[in-house]
Structure 1
Amino acid sequence: MARTQGTRLRRVRLWRWRRNPLRRRSDLVEAWLVLAALVLALLLGVFSGLTAAAAVDGSLAERRERTTPVTAVLAEDAAGLSAPVTENGDGGVWARVRWTASDGTDRTGRAEVDPGSRAGTKVTVWTDPAGRLVSAPPEGAEARFQSVMAGTTVAVASGGLVLLGGRLVRARLHLRRLAEWEEEWRRVEPSWRRRMTG
């Protein structure tokens, strides 16, 4: 559409909320739908994010309660081992260690240790209630990071699903509005054509 010099197109904000002869009932429904979807996405996102973060935090606290730090002795030199770096990237190698379980029995297993450690070196390992080796539970910043990431992920996903649902309903309303316009045009077009050609 060409504009004449000196005229500016003016965008009317919130036109669906304003009373005017061109606004249809479906326009007002769409305006309420958008508002409801935004509010619901925000509320559901915050609630579900906080719930997920609390659940992860509780799970990590329970894991910390179930595990016990135990002093173990390295049963072999770690210097010659060529085990791959662990997934957390701290550069440890897996070596055989020996420790005494809470029931008094001697146990052996493989634990992550510093690469240069010698046999006989004392290391701290974590065990479960049955005395089996487990990985160290996350604490401090790592535990907070896991809780925050879980909460953020769940909040974004749940809020996004609500917004996607609102978008799909809006698309359905738009298709319905196009069908109404087409039907109205079919009724008006013959008389309009007669006036234009007559």
Structure 2
Amino acid sequence: MRAIGGLWRWRHNPLRRTTDLVEAWVALSALLLILLVAPAVGALAGAFAQDSLQQSVREQRASRHAVTATVVRKIDGSLLEADPESASGRDTRTRVIADWTAPDGTAHHGAVLAGLDSPRPGDHFAIWTDTHGRLVARPLDSATATTHAVLAGFGAAVVTAGVVEGVRRLIVWRMVHRRYVRWDQAWERAGPDWGRTGTGS
């Protein structure tokens, strides 16, 4: 709004300098870019991220499988660890030795994190593996992918607005700097004769 007010104020003002009008136009252009271009960039970035992430969701769902593992024994001295894949981040898991069967039918045995507070031999729990039984992270869910896409779009819009504002500030700073340089030059020319009688001042 200040940009519009600046243009209106300088429209027919006899004290208006060219730089004043240019500065007002730069401010108005930056405002329009922030209001129109930044949201468009954010929407495009969000849509691109959504497509890419949803494709990852589909691929992970096709290649990762939930299988049931059986506790063989708890690893001695194992500590409860926070599960980084859990929604709350508060779920704890214990390292155990377990057996499981891969989707391709092969048997596996190894150390895994069990979602059990007090695992005992014979307890069952779910783990995620690929087709060949190798341990993998839980697949990305659609809602989380959408959240990441929204955040990516919002971030792109904010960055675009920041770049536009940064360019506006740089242009105005250069204009003000040149204005001060011209003032200094004018004062240097007028300085020796300033206030003397008969010099036309």
**What is the TM-score when the length of structure 2 is the normalising length?**
0.71
Which ranges of structure 1 fall in alignment gaps of 5 or more residues?
1-10
Equivalent in the alignment of 2:90: 89
Q: In structure 2, what is the Cα distance between the partners aligned to 1:90 and 1:187?
A: 77
Could you tell me which amino acid in structure 2 is paired with residue 97 of structure 1?
A
2:99 counterpart SS class: strand
CA offset at residue 61 of structure 1? 4.0
Q: Which residue among 4, 21, 34 is the counterpart of 2:27?
A: 34
Could you tell me which amino acid in structure 2 is paired with residue 157 of structure 1?
V
Superimposed CA distance per residue, residues 45-90 of structure 1 (whole angstroms, 9 cap, x where no aligned partner) = 5424424642444434433333222222222248974243234332
Tell me, yes or no, if the aligned pair for 2:46 and 2:152 is still in contact at 8 Å.
Answer: no
Which ranges of structure 2 fall in alignment gaps of 5 or more residues?
none
Equivalent in the alignment of 1:71: 68
**What is the TM-score when the length of structure 1 is the normalising length?**
0.72
Tell me, yes or no, if the aligned pair for 1:98 and 1:107 is still in contact at 8 Å.
Answer: yes
1:41-120 to 2 correspondence within 5 Å?
A: 41-42=34-35, 43-48=37-42, 49-51=45-47, 53-54=49-50, 55-77=52-74, 81-87=78-84, 88-109=89-110, 110-120=112-122
1:1-198 to 2 correspondence within 5 Å?
A: 14-17=5-8, 18-19=10-11, 20-42=13-35, 43-48=37-42, 49-51=45-47, 53-54=49-50, 55-77=52-74, 81-87=78-84, 88-109=89-110, 110-139=112-141, 141-186=143-188, 193-194=195-196
CA offset at residue 141 of structure 1? 4.5
1:69 counterpart SS class: strand
CA offset at residue 136 of structure 1? 0.9
Tell me, yes or no, if the aligned pair for 1:57 and 1:147 is still in contact at 8 Å.
Answer: no
2:15 counterpart SS class: coil
Name the count of aligned residue pairs.
Answer: 188
Instruction: Tell me the C-alpha RMSD between the 2 structures.
Output: 3.5
Tell me, yes or no, if the aligned pair for 1:79 and 1:116 is still in contact at 8 Å.
Answer: no
1:131 counterpart SS class: coil
Greater CA drift, 129-138 or 35-44? 35-44
Distance change (3 Å), C-alpha of 1:108 and 1:30:
farther
Superimposed CA distance per residue, residues 159-196 of structure 1 (whole angstroms, 9 cap, x where no aligned partner) = 32332222222211221222233334455667874579
Distance change (3 Å), C-alpha of 1:178 and 1:150:
same
Q: In structure 1, what is the Cα distance between the partners aligned to 2:147 and 2:122?
A: 35
Q: In structure 1, what is the Cα distance between the partners aligned to 2:175 and 2:53?
A: 40
Distance change (3 Å), C-alpha of 1:177 and 1:152:
same
2:31 counterpart SS class: helix
